[in-house]
Chain A
């Protein structure tokens, strides 16, 4: 029994050596394999939700994302919808948004990029106001707070 314990301990120690020796040459492949697992995606509360639809404008495109209410076990009462303007943006933006595509406008975004001033005019009870408005590498992003129906 003592001998078996010693031998298995030493075998395990050599396996630890192999683990470290294969780690660096295999780092890229292991990381790619890990990144493909179903849970390896950024939570929509950070990433902003999947794209729902887009409006192609004169020199830029407005992408409206799906509303995000994600909680641990169920949806939360409060969430947001993210809007991305991509491309060459005008200095002043004014867009009316129907984020749930029910045929009725939900809010108007007025954005003056140079002054970094963003105003949200809610047209629906579900809209709570501005959460985030920031310049991005691709243009501009706004997150508008929502209440769940």
Chain B
């Protein structure tokens, strides 16, 4: 640990790290408590304090140790778990089951998630309507709020959304960290183009059928959120597909490869987020003068965003989600967070500080509600 701290070029002193944490401390306090903590429910107050303290500690450690990915991943994985917990408990409370029925569809009561967005685009343009049985505004996970959250985050962070915002990404990120070393090392990185093929397929099939086909037939996260009631052969086949894809791409393959295989090989929104990397100001850069071509960064990249050719060419590919894993392992501080237009090697601390601030503010406020709810429910369960 001591050695890591010495070689890491982004490490700050205790006082400086505190100073850098102060703005996040104030902003998260205002957003989590509404400026006025509610003292009437002790379990909620404790949940709020634990979430608030935990998040600020993680941000402090990012500055104090100079490491990004380790602390980002903790929050990202907790977000995924707590969101699924909140969603499932809400759904079970509403319907006494994790599955939704025809009545929920007829009454347009299905919670919306950002993975539907690619399929909405063509029908919205031609039919002036949204092909999803959810609520346009108001209620739990309404369409308007979810679209705004994704849109703003994607403009600001590009594919950074996939490591700092998506409440599904934490699942395969978590499973990819279970083993210390991968069992399966050789996977062709041409599979990373698969989400683009799937994106095209689901956009076209959704346009033709006016049904969000990815949600209806493919989405592996149905296994940890909600799915159609199994009432006939078709719904049984669908449930089988969701569970197999979750087991294969979100659990098994990430464990044996240490890669985020669902995000790399399947998610159609990941493909759109990849394209949005073209507009975001933040990027990851390679300083050719410092790089010794040890390729440690290419081995750890969980999203196949960094090949040896990329390193030799001195640039990170458009698939990068700015998770910071490569930045953390580079022994020469050659790979770093950067800003487009600013040459590699310059303003590295400034770029990292600004990127961390923007992305951490997003994930902390976005995730706070579900984390607080989860801790509160656990506390209530323990007390009762």
Main secondary structure of the interface of A (DSSP, over half): helix
A43-B340 contact given A16-B157, A17-B357, A132-B102, CB 8 Å threshold: no
Flag if A141 contacts B106 (CB, 8 Å).
Answer: yes
Collect the chain A residues with CB atoms within 8 Å of residue B362's CB: 20, 23
A30 within 8 A of B: yes
Shortest distance from the beta carbon of A32 to any chain B beta carbon, whole Å: 6
- List B residues 258-307 near A (Cβ within 8 Å): 280-282
Q: How large is the interface on A (under 10, 10 to 19, 20 to 34, 35 or more residues)?
A: 35 or more
Chain B: how many interface residues by the 8 Å CB criterion? 58
Q: For residue B280, which residues in chain A have a CB less than 8 angstroms away from its CB?
A: 16
Q: Taking the complex as formed, is A104 at the interface, i.e. its CB lies under 8 A from any CB of chain B?
A: no
Majority SS at the chain B contact face: helix
A-B contact count (CB 8 A): 148
A56 to B342, CA, bound (A): 70
Residue in A19, A21, A31, A38 whose beta carbon sits within 8 Å of that of B128 in the complex? A38
Within 8 A of B (CB), among A117-135: 132, 134-135
One of B40-48, B141-149, B177-185, B321-329 contacting the partner: B141-149
Q: A19-B155, A40-B144, A70-B210 are in contact. Are A6 and B341 (CB under 8 A)?
A: yes
Q: Is the CB of A72 within 8 A of B122?
A: yes
Within 60-109 of A, Cβ neighbours of B (below 8 Å) are at 70-73
- Complex Cα distance, B130 from A24, in Å, reads 24
> Is A114 close to B, CB under 8 A?
no
CB neighbours (8 Å) of A143 from chain B are: 106
Please tell me which stretch of B14-22, B74-82, B132-140, B217-225 contacts chain A, meaning at least 4 of its Cβ atoms lie within 8 angstroms of it: B132-140
Q: Is the CB of B122 within 8 A of A24?
A: no
- Min CB gap B163→A, angstroms: 15
Could you tell me the distance between the alpha carbons of A52 and B365 in the complex, rounded to whole angstroms?
44
Residues of B within 8 A of A (CB): 27, 31, 101-103, 105-108, 122-134, 136-137, 142-145, 147-149, 152-153, 155-157, 207-208, 210-211, 280-282, 339-343, 346-347, 351, 354-355, 357-358, 361-362, 365
